[in-house]
Structure 1
Amino acid sequence: MKSNIEVLSTVNITSTPDLYKIVDSLNRTLKERDVMFGLALDEKDKNKMVFTIYQT
């Protein structure tokens, strides 16, 4: 099984408690369009998150 995941966009944003809900909603709504969204804590600044859009 070969996986071709391409990063389309990455942006650093200020962390908020409910941010993961937006990412979850995007993933559930747009999974049929071959896009995926990710959210991770910024390793350099713990008050920031890294939001990434992937083409799957």
Structure 2
Amino acid sequence: MRLLATKSFSCNDELYKVVDLLNKTLKEYNLMFGLSKNTDGQTMTLSIYEV
């Protein structure tokens, strides 16, 4: 997998739903999305990968 981009956002429970939608919708384009909570507990990072 190749990391294409990352972006940090304020914590929001709805971001998981967005990532799930992106993974289901863009799977055929060999893209994968990940979401992780940062150690500060206040932000989350969205990562985009090419599979």
RMSD, aligned α-carbons: 0.6
Structure 1: which 5+ runs fail to align? none
Percent of pairs identical after alignment?
41
Which segments of structure 1 move beyond 6 Å, counting only runs of 4 or more?
none
Q: What's the counterpart of residue 13 of structure 1?
A: 9
Aligned residues: 51
Provide, for residues 4-37 of structure 1, a one-character-per-residue CA deviation record: whole Å limited to 9, x for no partner.
x000001111111111000000000000000000
Cα distance, 1:55 vs. partner? 0.3
Q: Provide the rounded CA distance (Å) in 2 between the counterparts of 1:27 and 1:55.
A: 11
Confirm whether residue 38 of structure 1 aligns to residue 34 of structure 2.
Answer: yes
Indicate the structure with greater strand content: 2
TM-score, normalised by the number of residues in structure 1: 0.87
SS in 1 for 2:4: strand
Amino acid corresponding to residue 18 of structure 1 in structure 2: E
